[in-house]
Chain A
Amino acid sequence: MSAAVNEAAHSAAHTPAGGPRPSRRPSHKGQDEAFLVVDDLSVQFPTEDGLVKAVQNVSYSLPLGRTLAIVGESGSGKSVSSMAIMGLHDPKRTIITGSISLGGEQIVGRSQDDMRKIRGQVASIIFQDPQSSLHPYFTVGWQLREAYREHHQVSKSVAHTRAIEMLDRVGIPHPKRRADQYPFEFSGGMRQRAMIAMALINDPQLIIADEPTTALDVTVQAQILDLLNDLQAEFGSAIIMITHDLAVVAEVADDVMVMYGGRAVEHGTAEQVLVRPNHPYTWGLLQSIPAVSSEQAELYPIKGNPPSLLSLPPGCSFAPRCPYVDRVPDGKCRTDLPELISRSAGDHGLSRCHLSNPDAIFAAEVEPRIA
């Protein structure tokens, strides 16, 4: 099932340039070594309507202390690819191929019992909606204690002390009192802080934050992102930040992977992808958000709908919506799937597009609309 082909070479090819931010976590393997290596990961769901190809051939690697942002419209496979790292897909209803190596351990094909030791301990996940992600019938302290005791043989009171310490650490006032309250007694932002406290209680090396701020007010969003940044600096964990919000990406990401229709279409450092993007879909994303710095007159939303994952077009999945489809000769966009490779000279990431002169098009036609 797994295809761990030439892992070192592959991950080297896919690791975007640029050193990781300094990390305080002591690592006997050295700072640059990837903690998480995802190689040629595909996730498919057999359903009554056919095979849903939710994620196809995704590869990336992530060292400790570094943040990878996965960006894309809803339904592009961001969550599905990340849930695979936690082994959270039902093995009976999911076909997973490729390999995921977490701290040197292979994840794909592991039993649920093995995965239980990893979940919440080595890798933790923070979900989008703190309203529904905490159990409404248990106190916050109870839920944090449970997370800690699952991975540590300690008494209830030790775990309780640890829970209060974590609530305090994520900036919840009166943590002692708050620990005895139920989630519904918390505001949205406080709930997300509690969720983060629970995710970090076992000091995991990898944190997956799946749209952690989407359900929150703008001001609270910024606070939560700051908190995650602080915690990363303190604990040196690797973070996967899933989002469809490029403002969030700009704020937190070291590396960026843009997903479309289950595939990575552009992948590089934050600077490469946000400042010198090569893929028309990334261009579309940049044009469809209001620029922070300038008084941008118009927004250019991407027209059309995301592709059906049951029947992806044979060529480039973005072709039906791409304004540049005619710039590629011989209708190649509709017949050949472009590879995810380095496309032009200069400091760019990898992109999955047939255009031969993306640099020039970006400079002439796209940049004026976003600058």
Chain B
Amino acid sequence: MLVYILRRLASAISVVLVTIVISFGLFFVAPSDPAGMLCGVKCTPARVAEIEKSLGLDKPTSEQFALYMKGLVVGRTYESGGVTRECPAPCLGFSFKNDQPVLGTLIARLPVNLSLVFGAALIFLITGVTVGSLAAKRPGTTGDRALVGTTLLMSSVPYYIIAILVFLYLVIQVPILPRPAYVSPFQNPGAWIAGMITPWLVLGIYSSTSYARYSRGSMIESLSEDYVRTARAKGLSDRRVTFVHALRAAITPVMTIFGLDVAGLLVSSIFTEKIFGLQGLGITALQSLTNYDLPLIMGTVIVGAVVLVIMNFIVDVLYSVLDPRVRLV
């Protein structure tokens, strides 16, 4: 088990390193004019040179990369217009647009996504798996058909339409749901819940339909397994047979999708952030692109990759906890 985890960890770290190299390559080696783009309208060649210098663009590529890596490990400083900026380790670069280290910007936004994922995932995982499991027990009945129909309907309406409609009608016009806003749960837990409940419900319920569909399929399969028949033959209650024996096997493939979804939501939930006015990582990534804030773009890519890799690692470990056969592989 420990060997398994260590091996996964090693591969996770190498994926992160490769991502850093590739994103560095794409943004700094690719023929582009980042300094010119940053410079803006009242640009002079001197200003461009200064920006290039502050970004380290005047140095050879290999040296730039070495500097970047060094920044990641021990931190570095940036000079701009005679002012020195500190970028403590792990330094992912310095955003002159925001006048702060990239990582700082990203970390400031992360709690929004963390909060969003936490509540929404709780809703869609629990309702999705429960509804899907119940439907799987009686495939073809009215309840089951209703579920399948609803999920099909839901999946044919884009998420942002639903989110916009809810916002317009249930938040603005008939204010049943509170207006979304992010407040740290450590400052005011009540305000945190009130501020997040609307996106939680919208994202949670919308996504729960697809979770119901995955779990339904997975459960129909596992309910017909021989070991579920064995469980029945032991005299176990229907509830125990369904939610311990059948679900135990059915949940494993669902967890893989869950891990990827959570990773995706952590990095970006652009529609939710934009529509409900939450300053999360998705919005930040979008702004960094429109501003052509190169260090921030690159930082976003790396942080996104790291989050994905961490989630994959967690899913792998979780998988090995769920499926004992994986541990020996």
Contact = CB atoms under 8 A, between A and B. Distances in A.
Interface of A: 86, 88, 112, 115-121, 124-125, 127, 129, 132-138, 146-147, 150-151, 182, 184, 195, 198
Contacts of B245: 135
B249 A121 contact: no
B47 to A, nearest CB: 64
Contacts of B226: 127, 129, 132-133
A119 B232 CA distance: 8
B325 interface: yes
Nearest to A118: B235
Contacts of A182: 324-325
A121 B324 CA distance: 29
B229 interface: yes
Given A115-B235, A137-B323, A150-B235, 6 more contacts: A88-B229, A119-B235, A127-B229, A132-B225, A134-B230, A182-B325
Contact of A136 (B231, B234, B325): B325
Contacts of A118: 235
Contact of A135 (B230, B232, B237, B325): B230
A137 B231 CA distance: 13
B248 interface: yes
B235 A136 contact: no
A172 to B, nearest CB: 18
A127 B323 CA distance: 23
A119 B322 contact: no
A251 to B, nearest CB: 24
B232 A88 contact: yes
B263 to A, nearest CB: 25
B325 A184 contact: yes
A238 to B, nearest CB: 17
Nearest to A137: B248
B99 interface: no
A198 B167 CA distance: 56
A184 B236 CA distance: 23
A197 B111 CA distance: 53
Contact of A137 (B229, B230, B324): B324
A136 B227 contact: yes
Nearest to A124: B233
Contacts, number: 66
23 contacts: A88-B229, A88-B232, A115-B235, A116-B236, A118-B235, A119-B234, A120-B233, A127-B229, A127-B230, A127-B233, A132-B225, A133-B227, A133-B230, A134-B227, A135-B230, A136-B249, A136-B323, A136-B324, A137-B248, A137-B324, A151-B235, A182-B324, A195-B230
Interface of B: 225-227, 229-238, 245, 248-249, 322-325
Contacts of B324: 136-137, 182, 184
A135 B227 contact: yes
B233 A86 contact: yes
Given A135-B249, A136-B227, A125 B325 contact: no
A12 B284 CA distance: 85
Contacts of A116: 235-237
A115 B241 CA distance: 14
A146 B249 contact: no
A21 B323 CA distance: 45
A88 B229 CA distance: 8
Nearest to A181: B324
A88 B234 CA distance: 11
Contacts of A120: 233-235
Nearest to A150: B235
A138 B249 CA distance: 10
A136 B322 CA distance: 10
B238 A112 contact: yes
A136 B245 CA distance: 10
B249 A137 contact: yes
Contacts of B236: 116, 146, 150
Q: Identify which of B235, B245, B322 gathers the most chain A CB atoms within 10 Å of its CB.
A: B235
A146 B235 CA distance: 10
A212 to B, nearest CB: 13
Nearest to B245: A135
A137 B322 contact: yes
Contacts of A138: 248
A147 B232 CA distance: 10
A64 B237 CA distance: 28
A45 to B, nearest CB: 15
B138 to A, nearest CB: 9
B227 A147 contact: no
Contacts of B237: 116
